[in-house]
Amino acid sequence: MRFHPWLLLRSVLLVLVLAFVAVPMIVVVWTSIQPDPYPAFPPSGLSLTWWDSALTREWLLPMALSAEIALGSALCALLVGSAAAYALARGPARGRAALEGFLASPLLLPEIVISLSVIQVISMLGARGLIGPTLLVVAHALIGIPFVLRTVGVSLLGVNPLWERAARDLGASAWRAFATVTLPLMRSGMFAGALFAFIVSFNNVELSLFLTTRDSNTLPIKLLQYMEYEYSPTLACVAVTSVLGICLITGVASRFVHLTEFIHGGTK
Amino acid sequence: MIAQLRTKEPTTQAGTGGSAVTLRGIRKQFGSAAAAVEDLDLDVHPGEFLTLLGPSGCGKTTTLNMVAGFLTPDAGRILLDGQDVHQLPPDRRDTAMVFQQYALFPHLTVGQNVGYGLRMRKCPKAEIRERVADALGRVGLAGREDRLSSQLSGGQQQRVALARAIVVRPKVLLFDEPLSNLDLKLREQLRLEIKHLQRELGITSIFVTHDQTEALVMSDRIAVMRDGRIEQLGTPETIYREPVSAFVAGFVGQSNLIPGVCTEGGAGECTVRLATTDAVRAHQSGTIAAGDAVRVLLRPEALRLDTAAGGPSITGRVIDVVNEGNLATVVLVITESIQLRVSVSDPGAHSLPTPGDEATVFIPPGVARALPAD
């Protein structure tokens, strides 16, 4: 085969890009399974010693709290986002773009600013007692909604309004026509959106920063606070655990729906 | 309702049985545009196949959607079997529609699609299975229950849609240009299949189309629509032979419409001086008085190129001869603005003129029809 300089360049570029994406993950995984407090290169060996301190109440409780909050906020985002996506897809064209932009605006604002304004509003209302998991669920839903809006919107593009009309004609009430025709067809979009919403909530630091209390820390906040005082490969073990959890959910989910379809905004 | 197969009731007994669908003074306007449907009255007889025929924008689909309940009329009443339904939503009306784009549910199998209406009506499972199988059998798709609609061809999809509509045994079947997305061969075949099925089941049907051949072949009666009104309502025969206006004449079938002036009015017949030639005697519908401007309809197949026919004649220059084997069309220029088409059946037996020739066209007695000039 003839040597082709462009082909080589392309391969090198590809490897570099993939490495760029993969390196942080590789470093974290490697850190979690070696014995040194400050990992060196070349590695001095393999060890699971840090995992003993990672899989303790200290870390598992925040992880569970984060998962609960993420689940709650994903459900809220799913409900509001799906309803909004349906309204945008089926409602009048006037003002559609404006409304869509408005609903996505929490993504444009620095989250730390949103966090600040939430705390301001709460203080003004004299309801600082609300600060904690419940408020986090609501606040995280805010940044989950744009994801649901997008993925459900994409799946609704493939749903011809005529189908619901045909269902009505055949005797289905408005609600049943929606439930038996449109809803099943937007299900994969809803699933993907909820998953994204879950992940952005689970990993969120900025929004949570002012909204957690000492005894209700989410995992990312706990990691942050821990790192302010000391460093230990335990953190890597905790990170790997949460990544594994999310991979597991994504893996199971993608067996039922085509998630990648929504990442490149694919059309059916 | 149709468990026992009804034979089609003759369409002439209008007064006796009442009508299956009654539209009274229906009006519909979208935004500030001209009314899409204006003061429309229509009675569809039980078991009848009625076609709403007209160009796009004439209000035929709007009318159909109002019967189905997808649109609410601004004024007027809609009755199905004597029951006022115009306030009822589509799911409470006993109608079933076959759409132009099939509108099959993509996530359901063929069998689930066809059974959808029965499930909404809470039929027992066993009965659904039986009726779905029966309906699929009637449209020639027996045993295809487990296919996905995306695995079917366009013609098969429309058959499934037809089965999905008839399986609920609706009072009225509605067709919204169901054949427009199919190619010609399939269209011709499905026309006959739909017609046979409708006759067999005796379901009152309203069929919307812009295809005049479809209307002529399938209908018991045709309502030709124009600008939101019914221009003429009658049997295909009447619509073709006795159009009431130049619009109907031009829309249905091939036609020559020659301008002229009525020189002598009368009951049912008048004399017209054509712009091209001597006077002809012409049948008329409505009143035409001496001095009125008219258009005279001369169907191409009624005109003759041979002298034996006699009658008034028009002479012109042949510009085109289209020979399709069993039928040839000769196009003549009479004056700058007037062309005349003459059909010659079995052209092999005649000597056809060639382009450039002078030719004389004879108008046999009784074929001319005077229509009011628009």
Distance from CA of B95 to the nearest CA of A (A): 7
What pLDDT is attached to residue B16?
Answer: 37
CA closest to A187 among chain B residues: B107
CA closest to A186 among chain B residues: B107
In Å, how far are A64, A116, A180, B284, B325 from A253, measured between CA atoms?
Answer: 20, 34, 22, 74, 64
- Report the distance separating Cα A206 and Cα A221, nearest Å: 9
Residue length, chain A? Answer: 268
Nearest to A162 among B69, B99, B164 (CB): B99
User: What is the pLDDT confidence band of residue B179, given thresholds at 50, 70 and 90?
Assistant: very high
Sequence-distant (6+) residues with CB within 8 A of A17 are none
Distance from CA of A257 to the nearest CA of B (A): 14
- Pinpoint the alpha helices (H) of chain A: 5-32, 51-54, 57-90, 96-104, 111-124, 133-157, 161-169, 174-177, 183-202, 219-229, 234-256, 260-263
Sequence-distant (6+) residues with CB within 8 A of B69 are A168, A169, B85, B88, B89, B90, B91, B92, B93, B95
In Å, how far are B166, B269, B289, B315, B321 from B277, measured between CA atoms?
Answer: 55, 18, 20, 8, 23
* Chain B residues within 8 A of A179 when measuring between CB atoms: none
In the predicted model, what is the mean pLDDT of residues B219-234?
A: 95
- Inter-chain contact B106–A166, Cβ cutoff 8 Å? no
Q: What angle do CA B83, B85, B222 make, to 5 degrees?
A: 85
* Chain B residues within 8 A of A180 when measuring between CB atoms: 116
* Chain B residues within 8 A of A170 when measuring between CB atoms: 91, 96, 116-117, 120, 164-165, 168
Judge whether A194 and A74 are in contact, CB under 8 Å: yes
User: What is the pLDDT confidence band of residue B264, given thresholds at 50, 70 and 90?
Assistant: confident
What pLDDT is attached to residue A41?
Answer: 76
Which of B92, B101, B107, B109 would you mutate first to test chain A, the one with the most A CBs within 10 A?
A: B107
CATH number of B14-94+170-241: 3.40.50.300
* Chain B residues within 8 A of A174 when measuring between CB atoms: 89, 91
User: What is the pLDDT confidence band of residue A253, given thresholds at 50, 70 and 90?
Assistant: confident
Distance from CA of B98 to the nearest CA of A (A): 9
Mean per-residue pLDDT over chain B, rounded = 89
Nearest to A163 among B70, B105, B120 (CB): B105
Nearest to A184 among B69, B107, B117 (CB): B107
**Domain boundaries of chain B, sorted by first residue:** 14-94+170-241, 254-372
Distance from CA of B51 to the nearest CA of A (A): 20
Judge whether A143 and A207 are in contact, CB under 8 Å: yes
- Inter-chain contact B91–A169, Cβ cutoff 8 Å? yes
User: What is the pLDDT confidence band of residue B277, given thresholds at 50, 70 and 90?
Assistant: low
> Which amino acid belongs to residue B127?
E
* Chain B residues within 8 A of A165 when measuring between CB atoms: 70, 90, 103
- Inter-chain contact A171–B91, Cβ cutoff 8 Å? yes
> Which amino acid belongs to residue A92?
P
The interface predicted TM-score of the complex, written ipTM, equals: 0.83
User: Taking 60 as the threshold, does the pLDDT of residue A264 lie above it?
Assistant: no
For domain A56-263, give its CATH number from 3.30.465.10, 1.10.10.10, 1.10.287.70, 1.10.3720.10.
Answer: 1.10.3720.10
Q: Which long-range contacts (CB under 8 A, 24 or more apart) does B68-75 make?
A: B68/A169, B68/B93, B68/B95, B68/B97, B68/B174, B69/A168, B69/A169, B69/B93, B69/B95, B70/A165, B70/A168, B70/A169, B71/B28, B73/B26, B73/B27, B73/B28, B73/B37, B74/B27, B74/B28, B74/B29, B75/B25, B75/B26, B75/B27
Classify residue B338 as left (phi > 0), alpha (psi -120 to 50) or beta.
Answer: beta
Chain A interface residues (partner B, CB cutoff 8 A): 160, 162-163, 165-174, 176-177, 180-181, 184-185
User: Taking 90 as the threshold, does the pLDDT of residue B261 lie above it?
Assistant: no
List pLDDT tens digits, range A138-153: 999 999 999 999 999 9
Distance from CA of A163 to the nearest CA of B (A): 5
- Token output for A264: 């490149």
What pLDDT is attached to residue A258?
Answer: 65
List pLDDT tens digits, range B102-140: 999 999 999 999 999 999 999 999 999 999 999 999 999
Q: What angle do CA A219, A220, A226 make, to 5 degrees?
A: 85
In Å, how far are A205, A210, B38, B90 from B87, measured between CA atoms?
Answer: 55, 55, 19, 10
Nearest to A162 among B103, B116, B165 (CB): B103
List pLDDT tens digits, range B74-108: 999 999 998 999 889 999 999 999 999 999 999 99
Q: Which residue has the higher pLDDT, B6 or B321?
A: B321
In the predicted model, what is the mean pLDDT of residues B129-154?
A: 93
Please state at what angle helix A234-256 crosses helix A5-32, rounded to 10 degrees.
Answer: 120
User: Taking 80 as the threshold, does the pLDDT of residue B156 lie above it?
Assistant: yes
Distance from CA of B102 to the nearest CA of A (A): 9
Number of CB atoms found within 10 A of residue B14's CB: 12
Architecture of domain B254-372: Beta Barrel (2.40)
CA closest to A163 among chain B residues: B103
Q: Which has the minimum average pLDDT: A79-88, B68-77, B309-318?
A: B309-318
> Which amino acid belongs to residue A120?
Q
In the predicted model, what is the mean pLDDT of residues B36-56?
A: 95
Which of A169, A176, A257 would you mutate first to test chain B, the one with the most B CBs within 10 A?
A: A169
* Chain A residues within 8 A of B106 when measuring between CB atoms: 163, 185
Number of CB atoms found within 10 A of residue B322's CB: 12
Q: Which residue has the higher pLDDT, B65 or A230?
A: B65
Nearest to A171 among B70, B104, B121 (CB): B121
For the entire predicted model, the pTM comes to: 0.82
Of the candidates B188, B172, B216, B198, which has an alpha carbon nearest to the alpha carbon of residue B53?
A: B216
- Inter-chain contact B96–A167, Cβ cutoff 8 Å? no
Nearest to A169 among B97, B104, B107 (CB): B97
Q: What is the DSSP letter of A236?
A: H
Nearest to A171 among B68, B99, B117 (CB): B117
User: What is the pLDDT confidence band of residue B309, given thresholds at 50, 70 and 90?
Assistant: low
Which of B91, B112, B131 would you mutate first to test chain A, the one with the most A CBs within 10 A?
A: B91
- Inter-chain contact B120–A171, Cβ cutoff 8 Å? yes
Looking at chain A, the whole-number percentage of residues with pLDDT higher than 70 is 94
What pLDDT is attached to residue A261?
Answer: 59
**Which range, A182-196, A251-265, B223-237, has the best average confidence (pLDDT)?**
B223-237
**What is the count of residue pairs from A and B with beta carbons less than 8 Å apart?**
60
User: Taking 60 as the threshold, does the pLDDT of residue B22 lie above it?
Assistant: yes
Nearest to B120 among A165, A172, A185 (CB): A172
Nearest to A176 among B69, B97, B120 (CB): B120
Is the bond leading into A42 cis (omega within 30 degrees of zero)? yes
What pLDDT is attached to residue A260?
Answer: 59
